[in-house]
Amino acid sequence: MAPGDEETTVKSLLADFVRESIPEYILDGSHAIVAGDGIQKLTVNRHGDFYDVEGQVQGDDFQVYTSELSVNLKGGGVSFFCNCPDSFSGVCRHVGATALKCLRSLDEADTERPRRRRPTGATGGRPSGPTFPRSPSPSPAATT
Ligand SMILES: [Zn+2]
């Protein structure tokens, strides 16, 4: 099996998962997290027939949660886990955001030259220091 086939499988399974398993109101929050750079780290592990994605996700409550997605390449299912309180009731925004971010990084890998690259920096993310409020920069594209 060519390496590209696997990514295609992961992409289509993740896209199905997002479309079929994540309610729209959850997905809205997921998009907001991705747009706001809430995914601090995305780690991909391939073992056997499973393609695991782990995301460090900062939601709108400023807590960082660990979301995990496990794509079953052979069986064709996606299982998920998140350690946030919302995850008891099903798919949460963090899981959705991790799926979206992973899809996006797979897309980017696709459109660029086919070479192995990691979706995020190889070193362990940025240190968590005090966060300063960002001054709103005037961007014409972001007007509501
Ligand atoms: Zn969560």
Q: How far is the CA of 33 from the centre of ligand 1 (A)?
A: 11
Ligand 1: distance of its center to the CA of 21 in Å?
Answer: 14
CB 72 within 8 A of CB 49: yes
Distance 46 CA to ligand 1 centre (A): 22
8 A C-beta contact, residue 14 and residue 69: yes
Give the residue among 21, 140, 120 at the shortest CA–CA distance from 69.
21
* Confidence class for position 32, pLDDT limits 50, 70, 90: very high
Q: What is the mean pLDDT of the chain?
A: 84
pTM value? 0.74
Cα–Cα distance measured from residue 9 to residue 30, given in angstroms and rounded to the nearest whole number = 22
> What is the distance in A from the centroid of ligand 1 to the CA of 111?
30
Asked whether the beta carbons of 59 and 38 are under 8 A apart, the reply is yes
What is the per-residue pLDDT across 48-104, written as a single tens digit (0 to 9) for each?
999 999 999 998 888 999 999 999 999 999 999 999 998 888 999 999 999 999 999
Question: What residue segments make up the domains of the chain, in order of their start?
Answer: 3-112
Q: How far is the CA of 93 from the centre of ligand 1 (A)?
A: 6
Contacts of 71 (CB under 8 A, 6+ apart): 9, 10, 13, 14, 50, 51, 52, 53, 77, 78
